[in-house]
Amino acid sequence: MDSRPDPARNVDSGGAGSTCTLEERRVDNISVVGVTGVVDMLTAPDLEKAIAEAAKGSPSAVVVDMTSVEFLASAGMGVLIAAQDELAPAMKFAVVADGPATSRPLKLVGVTDVVDLYATLDDALSALRS
């Protein structure tokens, strides 16, 4: 299994608590964008750029791992929906989120009707490999 991490980018957009760390790595032919911290209107553009960069290498899929996200605002959800629209059908797109800060809002707002959601990264990778 090939798992090469890129250097993490710490994004501090100047707002109180608006810090987001983004890290891209490859697991086989799947790009994984790990997100930590807050995804709001200040940091969502950085997430959008990270997803676009992850897709540049023509992976079979892009996974956004939000396991360590503490707060997910509507701006972040909009980025996920836009990424699904831009990447499909050329490549698969999925989100890993489990918990009240991420998966609950994604389900309540209906993002999971458009984007595949998995509780763990292993679940997402297994599903995307098949």
Task: State pLDDT tens for residues 36-59.
Answer: 999 999 999 999 999 999 999 899
Residues near 62 by Cβ (< 8 Å), separated by ≥ 6?
30, 31, 32, 33, 51, 54, 55, 83, 87, 91, 92, 93, 94
Please tell me the distance from the alpha carbon of residue 18 to that of residue 37, in angstroms, as a whole number: 8
CATH code, 115: 3.30.750.24
Please tell me the distance from the alpha carbon of residue 15 to that of residue 110, in angstroms, as a whole number: 28
The range of the structural domain enclosing residue 50 comes to 3-129
| pLDDT for 6 beyond 80 | no
Number of domains in the chain: 1
- 85: amino acid identity, one letter: D
Task: State pLDDT tens for residues 69-116.
Answer: 999 999 999 999 999 999 999 999 999 999 899 999 999 999 999 999
Apex 23 CA angle, 70 and 58, nearest 5: 125
Q: Is the pTM of this model over 0.75?
A: yes
For 69, the token pair is: 């996200």
